[in-house]
Amino acid sequence: MRYKNALRTSLAAALVAGAWTAAGLASGPASAAAADRASAPSPSSVTTEEPATAGMLAAMRRDLGLTEGQARVRLAAEKTATAVQAKARRAAGPSYAGSWFDPAANRLVVAVTDTRASSAVRASGAAVRLVRHSARQLDAVKARLDGMRAPAGIGGWHVDPKMNRVVVYVVAPAASDNDVRTFVDRARAAGPVVVRETPEAPRTFSAGTVGGDPYYTGNVRCSIGFSVYGGFVTAGHCGQAGAAVSGWDGSAIGAFQGSSFPGDDYAWVSVGNGWWTVPVVLGWGTVSDQLVRGSAEAPIGASICRSGSTSHWHCGNVLATNETVNYSQGAVYQMTKTSVCAEPGDSGGSFISGDQAQGVTSGGWGNCTSGGETWHQPINEILGRYGLTLHTA
């Protein structure tokens, strides 16, 4: 992200002046050796800061149909649920079968296979649901599907803790295709699987060169995800390692230092040539620019918002985690699915829940006129892969 002139600096300067003073300017690119040695970082702790600005609340009113009071209550409850997740999972032990945020009750729900774990889970602050299959069992079924070759008519699959099943998505126009039906039959034979239809096949959201506040790699436009010390993270399908990157004004930013797609969909870009990093997600005038204070993963069911250079700022809910998405270029694993819309050019952009970074936009189906669904690659996986440190306020 770049704030090189006074106009662009004005939106973020007041927010991050203290952070700049404490952290200084961005450091140089992390070395390959450091990246190889790095282990996955622990998510930043949830802060006690106000979870959202007035602009964030306005976007939640628009996209989620909430009143301002309901949005404030929900954000506070989601912050609590995010903090409770790890403790509740430990309390459930081997009977753990997944968890999600229930917006009707404003509470984290933890599924367990053994009633003996219920008391300890409730003591952690979560509600309990008794189910048949453990998370370990369902993850094993999903792993079997990950090892199968999926035809183009299969959109993807993930473990759904609320259904206590692995959900396989079939692209509606291809539902009667012989290869699709064969895959579905094999999937059902692998374990507890349910099949659902999706109206469109997933696609990535890169675009040819147009206007906006993007970054460019050749004639491809994508969106910046999150600032890290030394650069920013984005989607892997936007460029290969070594590819030069230019900014909204056409000047050189740096280059892709690492990139993976398919299999993964993440990358990081070095920053130099007068550019620097700030812990801010653009609100595009729809909401105020949002400070990034950490990267604690929001639970299924929590609200989440996205910023991108085409459709700008939109919000929705977390629908699934650890989903395998079957793009035409190949499968991508460990993705998070949301009800937030996106459009070409939004690829690589920021997903944020409250003030916590969640991931970078990968792809989806639909658009921001008729609606749709979008996947993001979780931020903590990217940081761990490349040995990067998220720039936070």
Q: Residue 54 falls within a domain, yes or no?
A: yes
Q: How far apart are CA 193 and CA 225, in angstroms?
A: 34
Q: How far apart are CA 59 and CA 119, in angstroms?
A: 38
Tell me, what amino acid is at 221? Answer: R
User: CA nearest 63: which of 279, 349, 392, 342?
Assistant: 342
The domain in which residue 81 lies consists of 1-94+202-393
| In contact, 330 and 262? CB cutoff 8 Å | yes
Query: Catalytic residues, which ones?
Result: 237, 265, 347
Q: Is 369 exposed, middle or buried (0-12, 13-18, 19+ CB in 10 A)?
A: exposed
CATH number at residue 275: 2.40.10.10
The one-digit pLDDT tens for each residue of the chain (393 residues) are 334 433 343 333 333 333 322 332 233 333 222 222 223 334 444 444 555 677 788 889 989 999 999 999 999 999 999 999 999 999 999 999 999 999 999 999 999 999 999 999 999 999 999 999 999 999 999 999 999 999 999 999 999 999 999 999 999 999 999 999 999 999 999 999 999 999 999 998 755 432 336 899 988 999 999 999 999 999 999 999 999 999 888 889 999 999 999 999 999 999 988 888 889 999 888 888 888 999 999 999 999 999 999 999 999 999 999 999 999 999 999 999 999 999 999 999 999 999 999 999 999 999 999 999 999 999 999 999 999 999 999
| In contact, 224 and 215? CB cutoff 8 Å | yes
| In contact, 347 and 237? CB cutoff 8 Å | yes
- Report residue 389 as tokens: 């440190």
Q: Residue 237 falls within a domain, yes or no?
A: yes
Q: For residue 250, what pLDDT is reported?
A: 86
Q: Residue 118 falls within a domain, yes or no?
A: no
Q: How far apart are CA 362 and CA 340, in angstroms?
A: 12
What letter does residue 192 receive in the DSSP assignment? S
370 to each of 223, 268, 305, 341, 350, how far by Cα in Å? 22, 32, 17, 9, 21
Q: Is the pTM of this model over 0.85?
A: no
User: CA nearest 200: which of 237, 169, 178, 222?
Assistant: 169
Q: Residue 220 falls within a domain, yes or no?
A: yes
Please give the tally of structural domains in the chain.
1
- Report residue 155 as tokens: 């959109």
- Reply yes or no: is the peptide bond before residue 41 cis, omega within 30 of 0: no
- Report residue 180 as tokens: 């699709």
User: CA nearest 390: which of 359, 346, 364, 365?
Assistant: 359
Q: Residue 264 falls within a domain, yes or no?
A: yes
Q: Residue 380 falls within a domain, yes or no?
A: yes
Q: Residue 167 falls within a domain, yes or no?
A: no
Tell me, what amino acid is at 216? Answer: Y
